[in-house]
Amino acid sequence: MSLADVLEPLQRPLFTLLDTPVAWTEVLGFGTGALCVWLVARQHLANWPVGIANNLFFVLLFTQAGLYADAGLQIVFIVLAAYGWWTWTHGGGPGSAGALPVRRTTRTEGAWLLAAGTVGTLALTLLLDRATDSTVPFWDALTTGLSLAATYGQCRKRLESWWLWIAADVVYVPLYAYKGLYLTSLLYVGFMALCVAGLRGWSRDLATARRPLGATA
């Protein structure tokens, strides 16, 4: 039995939404994605294995939809998830047993992320336009750049990572609807709401962590 035979049941339509068949991969991606973001907002360590499962489902889904950058992005997400899992449990450094605290992105980090995101988006747009049959090369590349920057910030528990996720979701919602992935588009509307909740929660944690320092100054 080949890998295609094993995966074929996941690609079968489960129901129809707006005259468009919805496959098991999209349904499972919907469920694991929503659970993952909810866990991230709560700073729960289980978000990482759940997120890896979500990435695997989306590799299949996005490949079918012709969103090749998003499909490849899921592989990168799996690697980053392993890194994030480690930093969240070790406090970001060897020999540190404490949990990683919420912090703000430094100016240096922000500058590097902006430069890397701009160059990466332009390069990926050209690659998708010339080497694939993608009908949305720029938007596929842009969401890829934003998502990678946001995931890095999530791994390091940088507060601004939520703003990057919100920016990416604003593009993802109409992009997935345009590609006929209506359930996934709806999922990303929910993601935006969860991102706002996560931003508020992490902001409170950051303020609480700083308050004792301000009181003793």
183-215 per-position pLDDT tens digit: 778 888 988 988 998 899 889 888 887 765 445
Largest distance between two CA atoms of the chain: 68
Number of domains in the chain: 1
**CA 123 from centre of chain:** 20
Domain-located, residue 27: yes
Domain-located, residue 36: yes
Summarize pLDDT for 24-55 with one digit per residue, the tens: 777 787 788 889 888 988 888 899 999 999 88
Which pLDDT score, from 0 to 100, does residue 216 have? 42
Summarize pLDDT for 140-177 with one digit per residue, the tens: 899 989 988 998 898 888 999 999 999 999 999 999 88
- Count CB atoms within 10 A of the CB of residue 191: 23
Give residue 66's domain range: 22-91+117-212
Domain-located, residue 33: yes
In eight-state DSSP terms, residue 12 is S
Domain-located, residue 17: no
pTM: 0.74
Which pLDDT score, from 0 to 100, does residue 57 have? 84
Inter-residue contact 192 to 184 (CB < 8 Å): no
**116 pLDDT tier (thresholds 50, 70, 90):** very high
Domain-located, residue 198: yes
Give the CA distances from residue 142 to residues 116, 159, 190, in Å, rounded to whole numbers and listed in that order.
12, 21, 20
Cα gap 204→192, rounded to integer Å:
18
Domain-located, residue 16: no
Domain-located, residue 121: yes
Domain-located, residue 96: no
